[in-house]
Structure 1
């Protein structure tokens, strides 16, 4: 960028200021920096970040696939009102085993039921 110092000499009275600025402008040399080392560090960081992002993408894709399967199962499931005791027992065979154990021990209510829901008997 060139500065027209003659123009400023013609409009300003203080010529010493213009001489000083012109002298400073002529002496000015921009400093150059060797940024190769910093660029190499940044490129290494970028490569590591890309590698981590790809690994994260793989995990997220796998989780998304599992969530889509779960959503499909939920959408295709029968409404709760349509389920029978046999359906629940088929899905969770341990329920029949636990129920049989409770009946053998004379327990007719699950542990903590009365504490949570209160006494519901009319008698």
Structure 2
């Protein structure tokens, strides 16, 4: 018996105090999911077998019908064993949320970090799903396999960056600016305008001077 697919409780997610943009994206996703379920139900109700006896009566050239019937009977979708790739994705996800939390907070907000991991994983899983569920030709399957390799290479590079990240207290100003260039641009602009303090900083973090 096939394992039951995991289901997201969208109603519960919508009540987690998320931002307006996030809620709008969830609502749009929910609508797409409902539309996909409806289309799937309609497709499942459609007749999928081919009545070759009917076409034999309509077409004078019986060889054409016989050849089509033979091709359909012999056709088998190309399949790939993707367990190794799925394990790599699971390892990436678990390590990405565990390694170097201070550095992760510096470079990405938690929401941004989750979005990066989720987006990358979604692209991979979506590609695997297309392989498993579609009737694809050998050429299409090879092209898809190449795309998977590229996605995995990108994921491995991201994971390597996370693994090699230094703790927060070992970072220099140059490291911070390299990771978040907009911080450097903001500081340069403030200096040009003669602003040497950040409004609200002392009130929130205190001052040593």
TM-score of Structure 1 vs Structure 2, range by shorter chain: 0.3 to 0.5
Q: Under a length normalisation based on structure 1, what TM-score does the superposition of the two structures give?
A: 0.47
Q: Under a length normalisation based on structure 2, what TM-score does the superposition of the two structures give?
A: 0.31
